[in-house]
């Protein structure tokens, strides 16, 4: 596994994050649309909602992965965080996602007092499912025809990790 530096995302990371979600496999694994605009990512990096943690993975000075961890704003769900992440196509399968996710889990467990982490993943994304399972996530349900991707409706799993289980 290659060691990466995990740090908070900064506005200077705009071009690199845009490149991550412009790469076909990374984009297809999310609910993002192809050809994201720089303006969209600039807004996401400068108008950060309360409770949002935005991390990047940097390898040899280049940002190659991004993860967002959003604490639920509802009072009765403040113990819950939702995760979304992407790794640039050229750097997938090198442990970068594992290190990003480990940093998010550490942040949730030890700094944000989040006891439940949630995410959605396409049922055909076996690499991501294996990563999430490795970090303690379990499949809680399946959403049939959850999203439209590449000309067809696809299913997603709802996965969650409960601290201490």
155, part of any domain: no
158, part of any domain: no
Report the pLDDT value the prediction gives residue 37, as an integer from 0 to 100.
84
Find the CATH number of the domain harbouring 106. Answer: 3.40.630.30
Q: How far apart are CA 59 and CA 5, in angstroms?
A: 7
Report the pLDDT value the prediction gives residue 1, as an integer from 0 to 100.
67
Domain that holds residue 94: 5-118
Task: Show Cβ contacts of residue 29 under 8 Å, excluding neighbours closer than 6 positions.
Answer: 86, 121, 122, 125, 128
Report the pLDDT value the prediction gives residue 9, as an integer from 0 to 100.
94
152, part of any domain: no
Report the pLDDT value the prediction gives residue 47, as an integer from 0 to 100.
84
For 30, which DSSP code?
S
CB atoms within 10 A of CB 139: 14
Query: Tens of pLDDT along the chain (165 residues)?
Result: 677 999 999 989 999 999 999 999 998 899 888 888 888 888 888 888 889 999 999 999 999 999 999 999 999 999 999 999 999 999 999 999 999 999 999 999 999 999 999 999 999 999 999 999 999 999 999 999 999 999 999 999 999 999 988
Half-sphere exposure of 160 (CA within 13 A, CB side): 16
Report the pLDDT value the prediction gives residue 39, as an integer from 0 to 100.
86
E strand or H helix at 142, and its extent? Answer: strand 138-149
Tally of domains in the chain: 1
Nearest to 71 by CA among 61, 82, 56, 63: 82
Whole-number CA gyration radius for the chain: 15
CB atoms within 10 A of CB 158: 16
145, part of any domain: no
35, part of any domain: yes
101, part of any domain: yes
22, part of any domain: yes
135, part of any domain: no
């Amino acid at each position: 596994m290659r060691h990466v530096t995990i740090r908070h995302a900064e506005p200077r990371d705009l071009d690199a994050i845009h490149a991550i979600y412009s790469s076909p496999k990374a984009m297809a694994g999310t609910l993002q649309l192809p050809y994201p605009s720089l303006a969209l990512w600039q807004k996401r990096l400068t108008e950060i909602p309360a409770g949002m943690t935005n991390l990047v993975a940097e390898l040899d000075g280049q940002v190659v992965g991004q993860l967002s961890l959003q604490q639920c704003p509802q009072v009765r769900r403040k113990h819950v965080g939702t995760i979304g992440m992407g790794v640039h196509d050229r750097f997938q399968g090198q442990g970068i996602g594992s290190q990003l996710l480990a940093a998010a889990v550490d942040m949730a467990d030890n700094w944000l007092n989040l006891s439940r982490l949630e995410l959605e993943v396409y049922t055909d994304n076996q690499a991501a499912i294996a990563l999430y399972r490795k970090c303690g996530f379990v499949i809680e349900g399946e959403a049939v025809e959850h999203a439209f991707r590449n000309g067809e409706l696809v299913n997603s799993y709802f996965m969650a990790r409960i601290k201490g289980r």
